[in-house]
Amino acid sequence: MRYWMFPALAALLLSAPAAMAERIFIAGDSTAAHYAPDRYPQMGWGMALACNLDGTVTVENRAMGGRSTKSFIAEGRFDAIAKDIAAGDTLLIQFGHNDANQAREERYTPLPAFRVNLLRFIAMAREKGAQPVLLTPVARRSFAPDGSINDSFATYAEVTRAVARETGTPLIDLGYDSRVYVHGLGPEPAKAYFLHYSKEQAQAAGYTRWAEGIADDTHFSEKGARAMASLVATRLQALPLPVSAKVRPQPAANPPTLGGPTCP
């Protein structure tokens, strides 16, 4: 009998589905989103996060420009993550930029509703057996006349921190970390980390999308995206989560510019 059991066992093992790689999902806005090559050097920090992970973890970057918690849910993006996420995955949740935009009704989310929406993201992840992680909204390049950096989304960041405390959800205080980082750069050097190019600079570099120049204090260049991804990874590594052991943070200081989201 044992002579036919071994081939049968081998066939059973070969037919079994391969174990799924561990995944990090990102739910967020334009500061984390993926961009096509024609928008280079614009990159979201989610595009560079994979460079801070070992080869057993993949990134499912579902962040999308212009989305708040309200519009992300309304457009079915929340449901799409709920359909795909599974036990053992991690969900990074970063909103606030567009929730605070009172000029856009489809985006604006008052603070009480913002809190409820964050709770909904957390509950969904836990129901699926995944690990939610809250992130405070990343900083803008916004300096006060005295040289200090403004906290552009302080109220939304505080709600995020409060929800993390109330629910026992791990927190990456990216808002704080990024403000410290950008303040340390200073107003002029920080331009290299955001989309700041004169017409001459853009044309000389071949940035056809920005051929007339651009001065954007919210969205990141490749350098800025890599720096922010390093800040996220450093905090993620320090958390007591299964995925933390698989995080390999790249240095945040003076990140390389490689011409796209490839890893050094």
In 3D space, the residue among 224, 177, 175 whose CA is nearest the CA of residue 196 turns out to be 224
Per the listing, tokens 């990456």 go with 172
Report, as residue numbers or ranges, the catalytic residues.
30, 212, 219
CB 59 within 8 A of CB 96: no
Burial classification of residue 15, based on how many CB atoms lie within 10 Å of its CB (0-12 exposed, 13-18 middle, 19 or more buried): exposed
Burial classification of residue 97, based on how many CB atoms lie within 10 Å of its CB (0-12 exposed, 13-18 middle, 19 or more buried): buried
DSSP string, 1-49: -HHHHHHHHHHHHHHSPPPPPEEEEEEE-TTT----GGGTT---HHHHG
Q: What crossing angle do the helices spanning 111-127 and 154-167 adopt, rounded to 10°?
A: 40
Q: What crossing angle do the helices spanning 222-238 and 174-185 adopt, rounded to 10°?
A: 130
Rounded Cα gap, residues 230 and 224, in angstroms: 10
**E strand map for the chain:** 22-28, 57-61, 90-94, 131-135, 171-172, 194-197, 214-220
